[in-house]
Structure 1
Amino acid sequence: MKSRISEFVVGLVFGLGLIVSGMTDPGKVLGFLDLAGLWDPSLAFVMGGAIAVGLFAFALAKKRTTSFLGGAMHLPTSRDIDRRLVVGSLVFGAGWGLAGFCPGPAIVSAGAGQPKAIVFVLAMLAGMWLFEIAEGRMRRTPNQQAGAL
């Protein structure tokens, strides 16, 4: 139960931070991304603050074997930059630039009842579902693929 309460509090603080910082306002995000027009640099400070907190948090996490709540630490170990990472980053950036949402702020905005965010979250979930289907097909051996036809 203690873990669930902690998860709720962390999620609540994260969501409130997204609201206060303006990350849930697609107009503000698109203004930040519009370098050639009326650029709004305020989100650069939000990102800078997030990077500073992240650097401190990861430095601390690397020194620990368990989380503050006693669970095992599972930090990423891969440092590979491959085609999947680059293509995924490009798709993420294009979606962010077109919609003005990334996943976290979109979920917060959808929870607040913003219609555009609800459409974005539904499209995001559909994309995740399609990815899982594609991944499942790619994992099959050639014999299994031939048998499915």
Structure 2
Amino acid sequence: MSRILAICLGTLIAAIPLSLQAGVYQCTVNGKVTFSDIPCTGDAKPMDLRIYTPPAEAVAEASKQTQAIEKDLATSQKQRQLEVLRAEAEAKTLKMNNEITRYNEQLTGTTSSQADGAGEKRSAAEIQAMTRRHQSEMEALNKQISTLQQKK
């Protein structure tokens, strides 16, 4: 029994290198060159393929470089997000300041009735509501900015 087992194992081990060598054949069919893993015609030429396997050090170095690039990319993306959020906060602050200036001008009577768009003067309650809305928008933006800054 062990003799049969040894013969089977020996045959199996001998067959493994043959099965691992995937042959590539170059064939010419109707004037076109094709490549196949089986001979297509009688004139098929087996090709000797040499596959380069880099040393482990080169693979490790490439992996480190890839990680550094990914880290730089993530940092750049966060930086762009911060810039966009800061620009948005600045625009909202400018808009709020313009609205307050128009309201103050209306109170003092220094602008025409067309300056407000609808020609109506805003009440103090409207200004307070606008201010609260602006503050909540700014708080949300500042929270996003601080969250991004903490992830660095």
TM exceeds 0.5?
no
Pick the structure with more helix per residue.
1
Pick the structure with more strand per residue.
2
TM-score (norm 2): 0.24
Higher relative CO (CA 8 A, sep ≥ 6), structure 1 or 2? 1
TM-score (norm 1): 0.24
